Structure 1
Amino acid sequence: MRDSRSALLAAAAEEFARSGPKGARIQAIVQRAGVNERMIYHHFGSKDGLYAAVLDAQTHGLVEAWREIVDEAATMDPYQGMRKVLAGFAETFAARPLLVALTLHEALGGWRALPLPSGETAPFPQIRRLYERGQRQGVFRADCPFEIAHGVAMSALVGGSVLASRGTELIKAAGLDAREGALREQIVGQLLDGMTGPPPSGSAEPQEPG
Structure 2
Amino acid sequence: MDYIMETVGLRKAYKGNIIVDDVNIHIPKGEIYGFVGPNGVGKSTVMKMILNLIQPDAGKVQLLGEKVTNHSYEIFKKVGSIIANPYFYDKMTARQNLDLHCEYMGFPNKERIDAIARAILARPQFLILDEPINALDPEGIREMRNLFQKLNPEDGTTIFISSHILSEVDFLADALGIIFPRAFHIQYWV
What TM-score range do you get, normalising by the shorter chain?
under 0.3
- More relative contact order, 1 or 2 (CA 8 Å, 6+ apart): 2
State TM-score, norm by structure 2.
Answer: 0.23
Answer with 1 or 2: which has the greater Rg. 1
Higher-helix-fraction structure: 1
State TM-score, norm by structure 1.
Answer: 0.22
